[in-house]
Amino acid sequence: MSGVLAALGGLGLFLIGMQVMTDGLRGMAGNALRSFLIRSTRSPVSGALTGALSTAIIQSSSATTVAAVGFVSAGLLSFHQALGIIFGANIGTTITGWIVALVGFKFNLGSAVLPLALAGALLKLFGARSWAHIGWALAGFSLIFMGIDILQQGMAAWQNHVTPASFPDDSWAGRLQLVLIGVVITLVTQSSSAGVATALVALGTGTIAFPQAAAMVIGMDVGTTATAFLATLGGATATRRTGYAHIVYNILTGILALALLGPYALLIATHVDLQEAGNAQLALVGFHTGFNIVGVVLVLCVAPQFARLMIHLVPEPADDTTSLLDPHLLRDGGAATDSATAMVQRVGLSMMQQLDRVALHARPDARCLNTLDRQIGLTLDFARRINSEAGTPGNHRLQSVFHALDHLARLKTRLEHPPQLPPDRIAQLFGPQLKALHQQIETLTDGLADAEDVAGFDRLRQAFRQHRLVLRDLGIADVTIGELDPEEAQATFDAMRWLHRVSYHAWRISWHLHNCARLNPARPAAGREVATTLNPAI
The pLDDT tens digits of the residues spanning 421-434 come to 777 777 887 788 88
The more confident residue out of 97 and 156 is 97
* Mean of all residue pLDDT scores within the chain: 81
pLDDT-based confidence at residue 364 (cuts at 50, 70, 90): confident
Q: What is the pLDDT of residue 271?
A: 84
| Per-residue H/E/C for 329-361 | HHHCHHHHHHHHHHHHHHHHHHHHHHHHHHHHH
**Residue 332 and residue 394 in contact, taking contact as beta carbons nearer than 8 Å:** no
Secondary-structure percent of the chain, ordered helix, strand, coil, rounded to 5: 80, 0, 20
d(CA 344, CA 328): 18
pLDDT score for 287 = 94
pLDDT at 528: 41
Residue 234: pLDDT band with limits 50, 70, 90: low
Q: What are the boundaries of each domain within the chain?
A: 2-313, 327-519
Q: What is the reported pLDDT for 408?
A: 96
% of the chain surpassing 70 pLDDT: 87
- Are residues 182 and 215 in contact, defined by beta-carbon separation less than 8 angstroms? yes
Residue 231 has pLDDT above 60, yes or no: yes
pLDDT value at position 108?
A: 56
C-alpha Rg value of the chain to the nearest Å:
30
Q: How far apart are CA 461 and CA 508, in angstroms?
A: 10
Highest mean pLDDT of the ranges 70-74, 93-97, 488-492 = 93-97
CA separation for the pair 126, 43 (Å, rounded): 43
Q: Summarize the confidence of residues 406-415 as an average pLDDT.
A: 94
Pick the CATH number of 327-519 from 1.20.1050, 1.20.58, 2.60.40, 2.40.50: 1.20.58
Given a cut of 80, is residue 74 above it in pLDDT? no
When pLDDT is averaged across residues 468-482 and rounded to a whole number, the result is: 81
Please give the C-alpha separations between residue 291 and each of 49, 265, 412, in angstroms, as whole numbers.
16, 13, 55
Tell me the mean pLDDT in the region 441-446. 77
Q: Is the pLDDT of residue 532 over 70?
A: no
Give the whole-angstrom CA distance, residue 303 versus residue 277.
Answer: 40
Does pLDDT of 411 surpass 90? Answer: yes
The phi-psi region of residue 110 (left if phi > 0; otherwise alpha if psi is between -120 and 50; otherwise beta) is left
Lowest mean pLDDT among 268-272, 278-282, 382-386, 446-450: 446-450
Q: What does the pLDDT read at residue 521?
A: 66
Task: List, in order, residues 6 or more apart from 286 with CB less than 8 Å away.
Answer: none
pLDDT of residue 530: 45
Question: Highest mean pLDDT range out of 32-36, 178-182, 523-527?
Answer: 178-182
In this prediction, residues 451-458 reach a mean pLDDT of 88
pLDDT of the residue at 485: 80
Is the pLDDT confidence value at 33 over 80? no
For 42, list phi and psi in degrees, rounded to 5. -120, -15
For the ranges 172-186, 270-284, 312-326, the lowest mean pLDDT is seen at: 312-326
Q: How far is CA 354 from CA 143, 401, 496, in A?
A: 58, 21, 18
CB neighbours of 452 closer than 8 A, spacing ≥ 6? 527, 528
Question: What's the whole-number mean pLDDT along residues 436-452?
Answer: 80
Query: Quick one: average pLDDT of 230-253?
Result: 80
Q: Which alpha helices (DSSP H) does 93-209 contain, by range? A: 95-99, 114-126, 129-156, 172-189, 192-204
Q: Determine the pLDDT at residue 259.
A: 92
pLDDT at residue 510 greater than cutoff 90: yes
Which segment, 305-314, 415-424, 529-538, is predicted with the most confidence on average?
305-314
Res 527: pLDDT: 42
Q: pLDDT of 263-308, one tens digit each?
A: 999 998 888 887 777 788 889 999 999 999 999 999 999 888 998 8
- Per-residue model confidence (pLDDT) at position 1: 57
Give yes or no for residue 173 having a pLDDT over 90.
Answer: no
CA distance 149 to 117: 14
Mean pLDDT of 354-380: 87
User: What's the pLDDT score for residue 2?
Assistant: 63
